[in-house]
Structure 1
Amino acid sequence: MSLSHSLPHDHTHAAMLIYSATRFIVTHQAEHLDSEQLVKRCCAHLMATTGITETAAQHYAMHALAELQAKHVPAYFDISHSTSYVIRVVDPSTGHAYALTASDVLQIAKQQSEGDHDTLRVTQQCGRRAG
């Protein structure tokens, strides 16, 4: 099933789902050791309370988590200078931009899921300074 078919097309409904996910994460974040557990519980909550698919629930839970994390680490993706295969990440505190390929991001995700949570080291291995 493609993600586009499992997400509501109504922007108001999508905003309500993001709000629900955000409230759940804020309420329960102190109960969990890591973001993965929190996202899983948030997905279960969204599926149970709204009847959306697991794929849609993961989308909204990750969206909410990213929004909350962005308040503490103001890095962002420069979409206008990114493509399907390379994402440009900007650190506004230093002004540096880094280019990560899809392969780099996949490597980071695999290492993260295998318990290697040293993302700074992984990012330094993969990231390339962007112009």
Structure 2
Amino acid sequence: MYRTQTHYSAQSFLAAHEGEHLHHDERSLLIERCIQHLIDTAYVSRPTAETITMQAYGERSSHGCRAYVDMSLTTSYTVFVRDPANGCMRIFTVSELLALCNTPALSSLPVPSAKDMLANGTTGDRTPL
């Protein structure tokens, strides 16, 4: 992942405002506010602001977690997660992750344009997936 001033701006915004959105159902509001902040202050496109916001959000929400995605094994369709605390490695396929996203505990809303992309079967530049 690239580290830019925009990424640090997203991290700072999330740190400054996460206390205003403590409930899980307010997560999407915090994310949307950060996206708009990056669009307004860094003059980036919405898809870029969404990506940077979600990267920063993931880093903040996983802070202190020792488990990590093993990028040397992970592919586009299989994610390997190492957990040094118990010595386990979990493996998830994309289809398993998508099924997991539909469970009540993990049914967080995707960011707006990602939701549109999934519904339309396109990427941000409107090329087919």
Structure 1 length-normalised TM: 0.71
Which residue among 90, 93, 105 is the counterpart of 1:117? Answer: 105
Deviates more, 1:25-34 or 1:101-110: 101-110
Amino acid at match of 1:20: S
What is the TM-score normalised by the length of structure 2? 0.72
1:17, distance to aligned residue in structure 2 (A): 0.7
Computed over aligned residues only, the root mean square deviation of the Cα atoms, in angstroms, reads 1.8
SS state of the match for residue 72, structure 2? helix
The answer to whether residue 78 in structure 2 is matched with residue 86 in structure 1 is: yes
1:60 is aligned to 52
- Segments of 4+ moved more than 3 angstroms: none
Shift of 1:118: 5.5
SS in structure 2 at match of 1:61: helix
Q: Which residue of 2 aligns with 1:17?
A: 6
CA-to-aligned-CA distance 1:57-104 (integer Å, 9 cap, x gap): 111111111111232322210011111110001112111110000111
Q: Which amino acid aligns with 1:18?
A: H
In the alignment, structure 1 residue 29 sits paired with structure 2 residue 21: no
Number of positions where the alignment pairs a residue of Structure 1 with one of Structure 2: 103
* Equivalent position amino acid for 2:54 in 1: M
> What's the secondary structure of 1:18's corresponding residue?
helix
Q: Which amino acid aligns with 1:80?
A: S
Letter of the structure 2 residue corresponding to residue 117 of structure 1 = A
Contact 2:35 2:46 in 1 (8 A): yes
CA contact (8 A) 2:100 2:106 kept: no
* Distance across 1 between alignment mates of 2:35 and 2:106: 25
Gaps of 5+ in 1: 1-10, 120-131
Q: Which residue, 31, 38, 51 being the options, matches 1:46? A: 38
1:106 pairs with 2:98: yes
Structure 1 residues 58 and 86: alpha-carbon distance in aligned structure 2, compared to 1, 3 A threshold: same
Q: Percent identity, aligned pairs only?
A: 30
Q: What one-letter code is carried by the residue in structure 2 that aligns with 1:84?
A: S
Give the distance between the partners of 1:27 and 1:108, measured in 2 at CA. Answer: 30
